[in-house]
Structure 1
Amino acid sequence: MAEVLVAPIPQPHTVVIASDSPFTRRDFERTVTAAGDLALAGTCRWREVADRTARWRPDLVLLDASAGPLPELPDMVARLRSPNRPPLIALLVPPGVTRVDAEYADAVLASGRGAHAVVRALEVLASGVVVTARAPGRCPEPGPGPEVRQRLSTLTEREREILVLIVDGLSNREVGSRLFISPDTVKEHVSRILAKLEVASRIEAAVAAVRAELGQ
């Protein structure tokens, strides 16, 4: 009898949400649970995050600084990075902030676009599509080349509208509701967007759009 090899099912990346706001913790808990591409390791207050990270060993940690600067951030990040398998660290800041302690985080995310957009950005970070400056042995990813901008320029106005909503983390159904078109129509547009951008997933399309500052 021939041996049947079963490929292991990939496990979702895990994330810890650290915030002193119970409302923020609850909002992200619901959003991560609904997203499906990330698994929630747990939520906690800011000063509990180092101990919880050591216990839960997540792939990512989101530190909520949207209500103001976090006290003792460098020391806390050093504690988070001390295990053998340190997590990626994302810092959530208020919209409009121009100077943050970016050197302490792998990604800095603005809170103004909502939990869905932040979770989508975390999925991109976890996927490895974005190369972070702090990752050992890696170099920062260069800006979008002329070929990327050329591909983006081939999108129709409707496709650009849909891509902006994809960047915001909306599903096909949510995009359809926003633009008053059916989810099947959105799906067709998304397929054409992926083909034009020469990418394999919505996440890669979102990365291309963000890096080219679509709509700015």
Structure 2
Amino acid sequence: MTTTIVLVDDHPLVRQGLRAVLEDADGLEVVAEAADGHDGVRLCVEHRPDVVLMDLQMPALHGLDATREVRRTAPETAVLVLTMFDDDDTVFAGVAAGAAGYLLKGADGADIVAAVRAAAAGQAVFGAALAARMQSWFAARPVVDAPFPELTDRERDILDGVAAGLTNAEIGSRLFLSPKTVANNVTAILAKLQVAHRAEAIVRAREAGLGRSERCENRDASLRRPRRREHDGG
């Protein structure tokens, strides 16, 4: 039985290399390729592949958002994240978005083929190092009353700024982060909270009590501004 695959990556050479590796293996067939997340989702809905290899950093639609869309619109397709990033936030965001596995670019061909076959069989696919980190992370999750314990401290600080209505640039200035780093963290936050839009995250965050201090400061600052005196005209 043939395992069908869709490749989603914005680098043509990466797709070319993956196609060569996969189609050299028995029983694997690449049925379509996409260069951005939107096309990747569309092709998964059209072809209903067994597995999609999904890059994360792509134009038009981020790989995490595309992963959520594939899981919603083509739930029979297993998503394998394929990326250069192996930091904990990105790994767990991929899992939270519904990925069946996580591969690092640079994995050898045999590992990629084995991962695709395992994902098609319904297995979770992680390298030994990533699996050990995930096990440690879940074992060490604190039982605390802090809102959204699935978020890191940095992500919670960023969500606090989002809930206060700050822009990514304003949050970055407050936390000494670049706007791009803030944007990447916001994407991870949406995945972990399993919400589709920033507005939904704001609602949930405010219900949990985040964003209040900044909003109060903004309100107090507006109250402290001197009012313009009206002239009598006399």
Instruction: State TM-score, norm by structure 2.
Output: 0.45
Greater per-residue helix proportion: 2
TM-score, length basis structure 1: 0.48
Bigger radius of gyration among the two: 2
